[in-house]
């Protein structure tokens, strides 16, 4: 077996602690070599074998470091990724890639110049329900899709004192959950003809967007992406309607919940979503509904492919170009919401 690549995690907030550290540690081709954080006591307790650096510069100067994983606030992604690329390190950036399309494109060009891997952590590609949905669409079982509605709702009525909700660059629900839904829609349907967006603050004291309703226009398909902080439940994650059948799925993939609870990555039942979707087929005036079992989700696939891509054994699981496409439509949505009109794909940003 090859020696594992040394990965350094930059940031140990929610994303770093909950997602990246355990997933890196679970990848046999990666080693959680170190973490850059101001929380040395917590790191020592959680990851006693990992080095702890108080500054990013110290990690960049270590010649043994192969990969830098950036899990810091969105508004510093660009500068930190730029520094890591200039130091000749491979880089993974948590979503959203950056806070502007121009920054995303600049990093893509820099990575090409440096000859290193630059990837973005769009982990929801490996959700059980999304894998199941892709399989259904690829099979043609639903037929020509007329409507695709994707919800990612939460119930968080109180505004929290954290950077994601304080109104800075790249904050708010659209830049938090929107990238997941956009990335999935772009994978399934490609580049839209236009976008119409409504972004709002609904909670008392909210400083950043906590509600979005976004429509993507395609020649034959109407796509709706929706997220809110004030939904207790009752709304399906996906409602997809074709001219042959419909697919409706309730509940979220279980991997984030398991990671939050500290369950071991890859433990028995990992990635098994217990709520099957519903496949509805109409025959005349009668509809027949049957359960549609989920595929198994696995976020480990992302890091396994990152390690293989660094070694030249696989392709980049999420390229900088794909992540920049997400940034483009994030920006187009903001412009649409501000102007109150559709922003076409041809309109220059």
CATH number at residue 246: 3.30.360.10
By the 8 A CB rule, do 194 and 345 touch?
A: yes
> Of the candidates 54, 87, 50, 51, which has an alpha carbon nearest to the alpha carbon of residue 68?
87
- 3-state SS track over 110-156: HHHHHCCCEEEECHHHHCHHHHHHHHHHHHCCCCCEEEEEEECCCEC
Segments forming the whole domain that contains residue 308: 5-123+301-317
Residue 324 located in a structural domain:
no
Residue range 108-162, pLDDT digits in tens:
999 999 999 999 999 999 999 999 999 999 999 999 999 999 999 999 999 988 8
Residue 183 located in a structural domain:
yes
Residue 9 located in a structural domain:
yes
Sign of the alpha-carbon dihedral angle for 305, 310, 312, 318: positive
Rounded CA-CA distance 48/35 in Å is 11
By the 8 A CB rule, do 12 and 21 touch?
A: yes
| Pair (257, 136) in one structural domain | yes
Q: Judge whether residue 58 has pLDDT over 80.
A: yes
* C-alpha distances out from residue 185 to 145, 182, 193, 326, 329, Å: 12, 5, 13, 10, 11
| Pair (148, 258) in one structural domain | yes
Residue 248 located in a structural domain:
yes
| Pair (117, 139) in one structural domain | no
> Binning pLDDT at 50, 70 and 90, where does residue 14 land?
very high
Mean pLDDT of the chain: 96
Average pLDDT over residues 248-266: 96
Residue 323 located in a structural domain:
no
Tokens of 312: 């030249």
Rounded CA-CA distance 275/1 in Å is 38
Rounded CA-CA distance 87/82 in Å is 9
pLDDT at 165: 82
Q: Are strands 145-151 and 222-228 parallel, antiparallel or unpaired?
A: parallel
| Pair (116, 265) in one structural domain | no
Q: Omega of the bond prior to 96 within 30 degrees of 0, cis? A: yes
> Binning pLDDT at 50, 70 and 90, where does residue 327 land?
very high
> Of the candidates 155, 153, 184, which has an alpha carbon nearest to the alpha carbon of residue 250?
153
Residue 173 located in a structural domain:
yes
Please write down the long-range contacts of 82-85, taking CB distance under 8 Å and 24 or more positions apart.
82/106, 82/107, 82/110, 83/56, 84/60, 85/110, 85/111, 85/114, 85/116, 85/118
| Pair (230, 96) in one structural domain | no
User: What is the maximum alpha-carbon separation in the chain?
Assistant: 69
pLDDT at 76: 97
| Pair (141, 99) in one structural domain | no
Residue 322 located in a structural domain:
no
Residue range 81-110, pLDDT digits in tens:
999 999 999 999 999 999 999 999 999 999
> Of the candidates 310, 317, 312, which has an alpha carbon nearest to the alpha carbon of residue 67?
310
Three-state DSSP state, 75: helix
> Of the candidates 51, 6, 62, which has an alpha carbon nearest to the alpha carbon of residue 43?
51
> Of the candidates 121, 196, 183, which has an alpha carbon nearest to the alpha carbon of residue 150?
183
| Pair (72, 88) in one structural domain | yes
Question: How much of the chain exceeds pLDDT 90, in percent?
Answer: 91
| Pair (78, 188) in one structural domain | no
Residue range 193-229, pLDDT digits in tens:
999 999 999 999 999 999 999 999 999 999 999 999 9
> Of the candidates 186, 160, 185, 155, which has an alpha carbon nearest to the alpha carbon of residue 172?
160
The enclosing domain of 92 has a CATH number of: 3.40.50.720
| Pair (14, 72) in one structural domain | yes
| Pair (268, 169) in one structural domain | yes
pLDDT at 61: 95
What's the DSSP call for residue 294?
P
Rounded CA-CA distance 101/139 in Å is 34
Residue 305 located in a structural domain:
yes
For residue 340, give every residue at least 6 positions away whose Cβ sits within 8 Å of its Cβ, in sequence order, or none. Answer: none
| Pair (157, 256) in one structural domain | yes
pLDDT at 1: 58
pLDDT at 229: 96
How many domains is the chain partitioned into structurally? 2
Residue range 137-147, pLDDT digits in tens:
999 999 999 99
Residue range 267-305, pLDDT digits in tens:
999 999 999 999 999 887 788 999 999 999 999 999 999
| Pair (186, 230) in one structural domain | yes
For residue 181, give every residue at least 6 positions away whose Cβ sits within 8 Å of its Cβ, in sequence order, or none. Answer: 150, 152, 214, 225, 227
> Of the candidates 219, 198, 194, 216, which has an alpha carbon nearest to the alpha carbon of residue 346?
194
């Amino acid at each position: 077996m090859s020696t594992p690549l040394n990965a350094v995690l930059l940031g140990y907030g929610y994303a770093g602690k909950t997602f990246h550290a355990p997933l890196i540690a679970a990848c046999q081709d990666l080693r959680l070599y170190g973490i850059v954080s101001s929380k040395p006591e917590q790191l020592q307790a959680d990851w006693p074998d990992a080095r702890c650096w108080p500054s990013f510069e110290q990690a960049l100067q270590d010649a043994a470091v192969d990969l830098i994983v950036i899990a810091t606030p969105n508004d510093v992604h660009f500068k930190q990724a730029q520094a890591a690329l200039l130091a000749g390190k491979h880089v993974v950036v948590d979503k959203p890639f950056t806070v502007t399309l121009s920054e995303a494109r600049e990093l893509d060009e820099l990575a090409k110049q440096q000859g290193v891997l630059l990837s973005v952590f769009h982990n929801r590609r490996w959700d059980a329900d999304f894998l199941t949905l892709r399989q259904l669409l690829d099979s043609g079982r639903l037929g020509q899709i007329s409507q695709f509605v994707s919800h990612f709702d939460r119930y968080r009525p109180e505004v929290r004192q954290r950077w994601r909700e304080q109104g800075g660059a790249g904050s708010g629900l659209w830049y938090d959950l929107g990238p997941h839904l956009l990335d999935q829609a772009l994978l399934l349907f490609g580049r839209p003809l236009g976008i119409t967006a409504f972004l709002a603050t609904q909670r008392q004291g909210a400083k950043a967007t906590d509600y979005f309703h976004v429509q993507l226009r395609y020649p034959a398909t109407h796509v709706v992406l929706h997220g809110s902080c004030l939904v207790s439940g009752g709304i399906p994650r996906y409602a997809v309607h074709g001219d042959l059948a419909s697919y409706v799925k309730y509940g979220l993939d279980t991997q984030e919940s398991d990671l939050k609870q500290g369950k071991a990555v890859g433990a028995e039942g990992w990635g098994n979503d217990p709520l099957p979707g519903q496949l509805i087929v109409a025959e005349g005036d009668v509809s027949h509904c049957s359960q549609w079992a989920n595929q198994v989700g696995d976020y480990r696939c992302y890091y396994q492919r990152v390690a293989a891509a660094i070694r030249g054994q696989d392709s980049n699981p999420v390229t900088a170009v794909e992540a920049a496409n997400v940034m483009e439509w994030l920006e187009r949505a903001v412009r649409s919401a501000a102007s109150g009109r559709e922003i076409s794909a041809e309109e220059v940003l």
